[in-house]
Amino acid sequence: MTRAAVVQGLGAMVPPGIVTNAMLAERLDTSDEWIRTRTGIAQRHMVEPGVATSDLAVVAGERALKAAGTDRVDLVVLATTTPDHPCPATAPSVAARLGLAGVASYDVSAVCTGFIYGLYAGAGAIAAGLADSALVIGAETYSSILNPEDRTTSVIFGDGAGAVVLRAGGADEPGALLGFDLGSDGSLADLIMIPAGGSRQRTPVEPADAYFTMNGKQVFRHAVERMEGAARSVLAKTGWRADDVDCFVGHQANIRILRTVALQLGLPEDRLAVNLDRVGNTSAASIPLALADAARDGVLKPGDRVVLTAFGGGVTWGATGLIWPDISVF
Ligand code: COA
């Protein structure tokens, strides 16, 4: 039997504070109608100032461990665009607060593709025999990096966290991650960027340089192309046809992106997992939050063939596939 990483438990959380489109329209030149029709988003959750990414990651991690029925893992991988500090990584602090001080832990920085990259890291370590289990978390506080004056980004993103526990198992078990397709193209790095605060531009030249910036139109085009391509590649690896996919969990960026990808793959729209109307784009937390909501809504059932795919800054993209296992979701 081929050794593989198997999903053992799933946990997710969003902070209690809700920001509706109407609330944004009070301070920005936008409207509920524009946001709904152009993105599909109706509201997003945001933390109070003072709440950090690790605070959300710890809750999601605790829930995933509880869902998996364990309190031990060999590795903690945290995917985030919004670490607590530029240095050090946030994963060690999350691991320690989960009672996992001593285990290997590190951050993965692949923006909205972060969770797929994190799964790749965890699954790779398990498949190689370097670890027998891993906790992979995607957690974000985009409210800490959004320019409050930028209507093109403020209406899209939200805060939240999700996590899965992976364990060593066999490739023929439900829950086994059945191959990955990952990629990047750094020649497009400027499409999604916080220009200042790193070694290239230490302090902002313009105040906006300190915040998250995005070329939405270009990102839209590349997201469709890369999410479709990565999904096709995973279909080829699993031997599934598009029509075999019961639940397509795409990065929750924009309902028009998801619909276009589904159309191009020849996938009926009712196979799409969608929760962006409730949570917006939560970047690295997007995939596990969408999985958790789909499982709770009954859209995702044990035995379903699932494809996960995402696109994000870098630019980066990725996909993986699995048969959904009969697991707890907290
Ligand atoms: N409210 C009202 N009008 C807005 C607006 C807002 N929040 N944001 C932009 N506009 C305006 C623009 O200024 C533009 O006006 P103009 O025609 O007078 O110049 C018009 O709406 C259309 O802007 P455009 O950028 O062409 O809109 P769009 O249809 O491409 O939608 C996004 C913008 C950002 C919603 C869309 O491009 C998108 O979702 N991109 C992907 C973003 C993403 O998901 N990134 C995450 C990483 S994968």
Name the residue among 249, 231, 246 with its Cα closest to residue 288.
249
Residue nearest (by alpha carbon) to ligand 1 atom 42: 216
Residue nearest (by alpha carbon) to ligand 1 atom 28: 217
pTM: 0.98
H or E element: which one contains 193?
A: strand 192-193
Distance between CA atoms of residues 115 and 74, nearest Å: 18
State the total domains in the chain. 2
pLDDT at 183: 98
pLDDT at 321: 98
In a domain, 119, yes or no: yes
Q: Are 163 and 137 in contact (CB under 8 A)?
A: yes
Q: How far is the CA of 33 from the centre of ligand 1 (A)?
A: 13
In a domain, 328, yes or no: no
Q: How far is CA 269 from the centre of its chain?
A: 21
Domain span at residue 303?
180-323
Location of structure tokens 């969003």: 14
Are 185 and 55 in a shared domain? no
Both tokens assigned to 210: 């300190």
pLDDT at 1: 81
In a domain, 307, yes or no: yes
Are 216 and 147 in a shared domain? no
Q: Are 135 and 8 in contact (CB under 8 A)?
A: no
Q: How far is the CA of 38 from the centre of ligand 1 (A)?
A: 7
For residue 204, the domain's CATH number is 3.40.47.10
Distance between CA atoms of residues 163 and 174, nearest Å: 18
C-beta atoms surrounding 184 within 10 Å: 17
Name the percent of the chain in helix, strand, coil, to the closest 5.
40, 25, 35
Q: Are 112 and 283 in contact (CB under 8 A)?
A: yes
Are 79 and 193 in a shared domain? no
Cβ(316) – ligand 1 distance below 6 Å: no
Q: Which residues of the chain have pLDDT under 50?
A: none
pLDDT at 21: 98
Q: Are 139 and 161 in contact (CB under 8 A)?
A: yes
pLDDT digits (tens, 9 = 90+) for 312-321: 999 999 999 9
Cβ(39) – ligand 1 distance below 6 Å: yes
pLDDT at 202: 97
Residue nearest (by alpha carbon) to ligand 1 atom 6: 30
Are 163 and 221 in a shared domain? no
Cβ(112) – ligand 1 distance below 6 Å: yes
pLDDT at 286: 98
Cβ(223) – ligand 1 distance below 6 Å: yes
Residue nearest (by alpha carbon) to ligand 1 atom 1: 30
Are 162 and 191 in a shared domain? no
Q: How far is the CA of 216 from the centre of ligand 1 (A)?
A: 6
Supply the DSSP string of 32-58, one letter for each residue.
Answer: HHHHHHHH---EEE-PPTT--HHHHHH
pLDDT at 152: 97
Are 162 and 189 in a shared domain? no
pLDDT digits (tens, 9 = 90+) for 87-108: 999 999 999 999 999 999 999 9
Are 71 and 187 in a shared domain? no
Cβ(53) – ligand 1 distance below 6 Å: no
Name the residue among 252, 255, 307 with its Cα closest to residue 283.
252
Q: How far is the CA of 15 from the centre of ligand 1 (A)?
A: 26
